[in-house]
Structure 1
């Protein structure tokens, strides 16, 4: 099917869904202003001029609704508001607020439009705008997809500007002056004679004024904070002194503690259990069934853990393969099977003709790849505090999906959503893990058994890793052709279980119709102009339940696509960097490739005997990212020496944090490519703690150099794009140094590292 035909089909499906829901209603609701949720419980003297700014006599509160899981989301959101509000955000209180429609994330859905990020123009932008509409209609408040900055870049600055101008209007009315005659500085309105009136002194009057929404945003040349190097993270003091309060730190007087043991075959449930030994242990207060498992309530976490281990449980068996061998067999069987065909978003030229006997004379290259399941494994295991009393449910937890958490808790407790309060806490990592809410469901079920008490549920490390909804395992088959030193044909097929429908089904109870784009994301959307070019996704049966992992489909497809492109370039006898640049059809991506070549002093993949370097490129979340990894083959194994990285996010708002995010993405990508896999036996992963799931060690960390370009046409996020190119760049570097082409992750199955 042609690319245009695929887009048309996807567009029709989207349009049909809209018609089914009522187009007129949809358009009306999409344009309808969202009520300000902060107005619901304002106290006397408080002003909530926008959903993001609340002011009273004691100070200013900035609402930063995108969750902070270590990536600096609270800080950058506060700076976006403060830049226009004209305050030092360090003087404000930051709060994620209560979940609600006002904090919907349109970008996270618009990036799922069936057009690659490098395509612009009217049709592409219309599709992206259309995809954002359901986010508003259905209150899709999600932190993910590297969307915090692009989604908030204008909205949060406008919120700050609206608050600023409304406060000026309050001062103007008080003083009988024109608003145009007033200025602002450091949280105060400045009168023409230099007199300052603090925002906090104007709160009551501002609360009586309709917000001034006809505002202009300040040009970048006037920014005080955004774009400045060494912009201080607003949480740096707490995190440096150990005073940040994560969910796992939270405590209330007379609080109960709980943990669970759930079926390692996630969702399969309990056949029978014997709790007599557990009930006899000191401090145990109650043994209570939860969905798919058994919960233990005790007077501290350690005693709950000990009692959980003492439970004798017979688990039910699911109907999917119980071990990794059977899982990969199922993935291989689905690959190329018409009954498992899911989608083909890229199909240019005539690949079958190019690779057939009558095609141009050249060399055919074939390869097969595979990647394993991967755990998220954040340092802070999943936890939640819940109290149920008098028809009200209160939840304290780290989550990326607070509206879904609220709605599911209401359903379990049989109360209205208005009766549920979700207090989102800072998170000790996530990498996509906290896009799930099983732990909150369990905590609510257990809290219902002890009404009126705060109950804190904590998963053990083993429970966390064995109930992780991992990154999907997948396999790929590739064929291509080179003619006269150039890549002319590229055909990649990928097989994996459907991630997005499974995940959305768990959250909403509804299945997503249509194809699952994550099966080929990171491969079908790369900015290369190859004459005969095809990428096909095959949906394998649902097996181990899977979820988003940092960079989602690009985490595996970036490895497949770029490694096979490197193989084709090698077969053509071309230079790995020069041929990528020649094939590139997207100016910002080409500049990123050129920049990484300049940074690394590129003059070919060889660096001398036993040394080599590899290029890795992947465009993910609209961000072109190119990496050059340099390695040395020692007697003990491969040493990673240096990594050069070039990215383009359109506008760099926080240069220091951008570098930190790219550093983290590179280390994350390299460490998992080197060492990490979840291996299944009897429906359970064998790797359930860090000793068996080892990322990159500190002594293995290479020197990393980052360069950020700003040539893209729109602003992008950077939390994930540093991950996908790391694995192919490392694999390509190993080939350059050793001549060994490795097509399976983790790489340590085939080579040692030092």
Structure 2
């Protein structure tokens, strides 16, 4: 797709396939310049086009990786536009400040904030376009705008029975100034938002026409295979370079970050030649590292590294806020409590394991650079590519393909860096760099391993009087040299170790960064991927210690949060929570929450000796307004399966200064027979949308270990569960 930000209006219409007389709109300038921040809110550039034939083109500003971003964002616009949904076509984005997420102030697809971030601005975009069309229709028909209505891509005058199609009005409407505050539909009038319709991207994915990063192809394309060291920042040498260069089809062998790229006229020729290279690390940040060293370093951090405090943040507000903790008051409350409970929990490093391994294509030609691939951060990818190539950003074009699984891994840009380096070594032709599965695992940016130590003070009535939690593990912000919020520990490590939503006094969270150089990054649900397991396991242990029903114990601390109570009540109803358990049967509950979204899950298990069978998982989820309910349900089920794999088997090992988990044979994934029945119920507790994509992941691990304890099994405090029990096929 041509770079729409660098062509005039006529060229834009040709690219979008709309023809003359089309209306092309965005909130803000339609020709935003790459790399130049725009003033005001919602600077999306040329995001919406209406053709003379009534066709509607929407350029999705965010990346589609299976979560339904394209469908949801297009529906938001189309709902307010009142167009004919059958005439809507959606296209992929490119890197441009015009596409920034208003909430993030960056162009990215991550942190479950795509729909929540774009929702207000895209509603205004659709409504502003509709208002312009109505105004143009009023002028054409010679009637007041107030006498006109819109529906199915038409402006209608009920009194005379006349109607004009949007295509007939597009040119005139394009000449009108956009209203800054157009009238919006009431939620009661929504027809697309909340409807159950097939997704627009379904057909191309079923037929194989969808272009993922691995599918990028041009005539004469070159392919780069890699030979890499155990760490991206290792100092390396290589033998066999001359032998590789002499192999059939090989164009060149080039140094790239962490190793070498062998560039050839086809994948198998490149891969066969790359196998001739032996890469040796003369120095590596993880030289000699093994599992024992990792565990020892994290344990040592509790005593050797000063604690960084973390406030009692309320993640339900944006920006997040909360009062600081009072360590002295918490210590005093713990000491004075009639009863105390202590526990230590641990989680290992986790891989992203996206089914589409890392890949990216690039071409350097005539002083300009093209990058195409499965990118969650196209803007950051463009800026990095420009820096590597020594080009101004307006000479770099970054285009986004479909993403075959991201989970946070493709928010990083290390694989883009390698692709650009390979392209610069073979100028003039596009070079597709493909990582093997083993390289994808070895060079992953893992979810860090953590250990959390809890102390709880309990009153004679069984209520919590105080709780402290200390966590040790790697900092994602430190690894990437990012500045975190001042005066607090890294939120990706420490946030929500104790839920702010639970109403009890004297909470203290402290973080001890562990000095490790393992590449780490954001993993689906980030902080809550580990901290929901810690926090909800500890609450469950407290409830059982005072012989309280774990679900009722949670309810008693959530009176200020009716939406939390609603999802707990719903999941209790779905799972038959109050029913009697047969011997060896158990139910466990867990809760998590994020921006305007509450999720409760119940896991039902059977335990016979060490044999564990998962019988059923029920989930009640309130994300406020669900734009596309079937996609929300699918995201929740998919998140549960993603979290299930990590809870049962997820574990990355290290030996001899390298990752020893090399492929799916070493990193067990969930098969169809491993997945139990999953029931999802959607609730609506708000008229605005909340976070969805990551919300299904956090509760499943604590729900499972809580169910195992309920079934009479061991209290599992270290994941994965398979290290403690034998996992059997799930109930059909």
The two structures have a TM-score, normalised by structure 2, of: 0.89
1:196 counterpart (146, 149, 163): 163
Q: Distance in 1 between matches of 2:609 and 2:713?
A: 16
SS at match of 1:347: coil
Which residue number corresponds to residue 310 of structure 1? 276
In structure 2, the residue matched to 1:165 is 131
Tell me the equivalent position of 2:297: 330
Separation of aligned partners in 2, 1:714 and 1:57: 33
Give yes or no for the alignment of 1:401 onto 2:380.
no
SS of residue in 2 equivalent to 1:310? coil
Paired residues of 2:61 and 2:100 also in contact (CA < 8 A)? no
Q: In 1, Cα distance between the equivalents of 2:157 and 2:309?
A: 64
| 1:66 and 2:62 are equivalent in the alignment | yes
Alpha carbons 1:522, 1:620 under 8 Å: kept? no
- d(CA) in 1 for partners of 2:456 and 2:8? 60
1:145 is matched with: 111
CA distance in structure 2 between the aligned counterparts of 1:260 and 1:90, rounded to whole angstroms: 44
CA distance in 2, matches of 1:60, 1:429: 28
TM-score of the aligned structures, taking structure 1 as reference length: 0.86
The answer as to 2:223 corresponding to 1:257 is yes
User: Could you give the per-residue CA deviations for residues 392-423 of structure 1, whole angstroms, max 9, x where no partner exists?
Assistant: 11111111111111111111112111111111
Tell me, yes or no, if structure 1 residue 208 matches structure 2 residue 180: no
Alpha carbons of structure 1 residues 396 and 241: separation in structure 2 relative to 1, 3 Å:
same
**DSSP-derived class of the 1:687 partner:** coil
Q: 1:494 aligns with which of 468, 471, 494?
A: 471
Query: Could you tell me whether the CA contact under 8 Å between 1:145 and 1:621 is conserved in 2?
Result: no
Name the counterpart of 1:16. none
Specify which of 329, 344, 347 is matched with residue 325 of structure 2: 347
Match of 2:517 in 1: 543
1:590 is aligned, of 565, 570, 581, to: 565
Structure-1 separation of matches of 2:372 and 2:485: 29
* Equivalent position SS for 1:738: coil
Change (3 A) 1:467 1:513: farther
Q: Mapping of 1:730-741 within 5 angstroms?
A: 730-741=704-715
Count of equivalent residues: 681
Normalized per residue, which structure has more helix?
1
Aligned to 1:127: none
Is residue 109 of structure 2 the alignment partner of residue 177 of structure 1?
A: no
Give the direction of change, closer, same or farther, for the CA distance of 1:511–1:596 in structure 2 (3 Å limit): closer
Between the aligned partners of 2:84 and 2:443, the Cα distance in structure 1 is 42
1:361 to 331, 338, 346: 338
Instruction: Look up the match of 2:81.
Output: 85
Aligned to 2:679: 705
1:46 CA drift (Å): 4.0
Q: What is the rounded CA distance, in whole Å, between the counterparts of 2:594 and 2:511 in structure 1?
A: 17
Matched, 1:221 2:188: yes
Q: Distance in 1 between matches of 2:705 and 2:6?
A: 50
Q: Aligned match of 2:526 in 547, 552, 562?
A: 552
8 Å CA contact retained: 2:226, 2:260: yes
List gaps (5 residues or longer) in structure 1. 1-34, 109-134
Output one character per residue of 1:421-465: Cα deviation in whole Å (capped at 9) or x when no partner. 111111111111110111211111111122221111111111111
Partner Cα distance (1:504, 1:706) in 2? 39
Looking at structure 2, the residues matched to 446 and 319 of structure 1 have their Cα atoms a distance apart, in angstroms, of 24
Structure 2 equivalent of residue 421 of structure 1: 397
Match of 1:100 in 2: 96
Q: Is this contact kept in 2: 1:395–1:421, CA < 8 A?
A: yes
Contact 1:86 1:187 in 2 (8 A): yes
Between 1:577-586 and 1:558-567, the stretch displaced more is 577-586
The whole-number CA distance in structure 2 between the counterparts of 1:449 and 1:156 is 41
Out of 605, 609, 616, the residue aligned to residue 583 of structure 2 is: 609
Contact kept, 8 Å, 2:85 with 2:152, in 1: the verdict is no
Provide Cα deviations, 1:68-111, integer angstroms capped at 9, x if missing partner.
Answer: 10101001111111001112334222123332223222334xxx
Q: Secondary structure at the match of 1:691?
A: coil
Assess, with a 3 A threshold, how the Cα gap between structure 1 residues 422 and 78 changes in structure 2: closer, same or farther. Answer: same
Q: CA deviation at 1:260?
A: 1.8
* Aligned-residue offset at 1:511: 7.8
Distance in 2 separating the partners of 1:49 and 1:623 = 31
Q: Deviations over 1:729-753 (max 9, x none)?
A: 0011111113301111111111110
Q: How does 1:281-292 map to 2 (within 5 A)?
A: 281-292=247-258
**72, 92, 98: which one pairs with 1:76?**
72
Aligned to 1:131: none
Per-residue deviation, 1:38: 8.3
**Larger mean Cα displacement after TM superposition, 546-555 or 584-593:** 584-593
Give the whole-Å Cα distance in 1 for the aligned partners of 2:157 and 2:6: 32
Change (3 A) 1:644 1:348: farther
1:727 to 701, 705, 708: 701
Contact kept? 2:479, 2:517, Cα under 8 Å: no
CA contact (8 A) 1:569 1:579 kept: yes
Question: In 2, Cα distance between the equivalents of 1:671 and 1:268?
Answer: 31
Mapped contact 1:551–1:620 kept (Cα < 8 A)? no
Does structure 1 residue 270 correspond to structure 2 residue 245? no
State the distance in 1 between where 2:157 and 2:360 align. Answer: 49
Contact persistence 2:616–2:677 (CA under 8 A): yes
For 1:288 and 1:194, locate their aligned partners in 2 and report how far apart those are by CA, in whole Å. 69
Which ranges of 4 or more aligned residues in structure 1 deviate by more than 6 Å? 35-40
**Cα distance per residue 1:143-201 (max 9 Å; x no partner):** 11111111122211111111111122233334443332332222232345333333233
Q: Secondary structure at the match of 2:641?
A: helix
Secondary structure at the residue paired with 1:694?
coil
Measured after TM superposition, the shift of residue 660 of structure 1 is 0.8
CA distance in 2, matches of 1:614, 1:97: 42
Q: Could you tell which deviates more after superposition, 335-344 or 619-628?
A: 335-344
Cα pair distance change 1:37/1:624, threshold 3 Å: farther
Larger deviation: 445-454 or 207-216?
A: 207-216
Distance 2:92 2:673 in 1: 37
Say if 1:639 and 1:700, in contact at 8 Å, map to a contact too: no
The aligned counterpart of 1:118 is none
The corresponding residue for 2:264 is: 298
Comparing 60-69 with 210-219, greater Cα deviation is found at 210-219
Distance in 2 (alpha carbons) for counterparts of 1:223 and 1:410: 43
Q: Flag the 1:596–1:336 CA change in 2: closer, same or farther, 3 A.
A: farther
Summarize the alignment of residues 576-725 of structure 1 with structure 2, pairs less than 5 Å apart. 576-584=550-558, 585-603=560-578, 607-634=581-608, 637-712=611-686, 714-725=688-699
CA distance in 2, matches of 1:294, 1:690: 24
Residue 280 of structure 1: aligned partner: 246
| Structure 1 range deviating more: 494-503 or 637-646 | 494-503
Q: 1:616 to 1:623 in 2, by over 3 A?
A: same
